[in-house]
Amino acid sequence: MTALDADRNGEISAEEIKDAVAALKKLDKNKDDKLTAEELRPNFGGNRSGRGGSGIPDRSRAPVTQPLKPLPPVAKQIGGVSTHEILQLFGAKGRHGGTERELANYRRVFGFTDADRDGRHSKKEYIENGAYLTPQSRRGIFQASDSNNDGFVSEAEYVENRLITDEAKLIFSDMDANGNNRLTAKELLASGKLKDEKLANGVFKALDTNEDGELIIPEYLRVWGRWARH
């Protein structure tokens, strides 16, 4: 579903069905023209139960909702290069990206949760009554989206957050060479997105806020999101 649903609107359109072959080929990490169960495993977490396809808890990978330490002050430049320039080197467009179709779909998805149709998500609507992910994940997404800290997420804030985070996840997935949902400094450098090894190591260190030598999606997004909104 994740591979085929290119616009992330929760539906597979006729156009996306036509592109199914190309989309599935992107999952073939080792380029052997075959798809294994491991390659088909979702990139950004398991199902709602937190279990793999067998129904047994998957302890081989860190849960994407694991508690994170308080975020330290986020650097505005690394090695003399501004974080804005760093995101450009990664190929990120952030809030300025997205096609008209993508923007329309984000607004459509926003409307699903806006139960009272007042043009904003309340904590009750999104966190308490949300149907996807875990309450902890929804709380984190809500806090990241609420850029003016007024306790509500407007349609504009929601769309901006989706533009930033969906793009960031795709960039992460592209660098995650072995597809294990963890990113190492070696993988970041090998991706070729940052040619300067010293800069690449500095960026990785800034993203690795718990200093364990690898990045998981929530940890990576917390810093990336601050950079993208700066």
CATH for 207: 1.10.238.10
Rounded Cα distance, 94 and 16, in Å: 24
Structural domain including 102 reads 77-229
Under DSSP, is residue 194 helix (H, G, I), strand (E, B) or coil?
coil
Q: What single-letter amino acid sits at 33? A: D
Under DSSP, is residue 7 helix (H, G, I), strand (E, B) or coil?
coil
Number of domains in the chain: 1
In-domain check, residue 123: yes
Residue 165: alpha-carbon gap to chain centroid: 4
In-domain check, residue 44: no
Amino acid 216: pLDDT: 92
In-domain check, residue 224: yes
pTM for the full model? 0.66
* Model confidence pLDDT, tens digit, residues 87-112: 999 999 887 877 888 899 999 989 98
Would you give the end-to-end CA distance of the chain in angstroms? 33
Q: Evaluate if residue 1 carries a pLDDT over 90.
A: no
Instruction: Please give the structure tokens belonging to residue 40.
Output: 């088909």
Q: CA dist 67 to 56, 90, 194, Å?
A: 22, 27, 29
Amino acid 215: pLDDT: 95
In-domain check, residue 40: no
Select the highest-mean-pLDDT range: 21-35, 68-82, 94-108, 192-206. 192-206
β-bridge mates for residue 78, sequence order: 81
Q: Evaluate if residue 154 carries a pLDDT over 80.
A: yes
* DSSP code of residue 121: E
In-domain check, residue 71: no
Confidence of residue 16 (pLDDT cuts 50, 70, 90): low
Maximum Cα–Cα distance for the chain, whole Å?
51
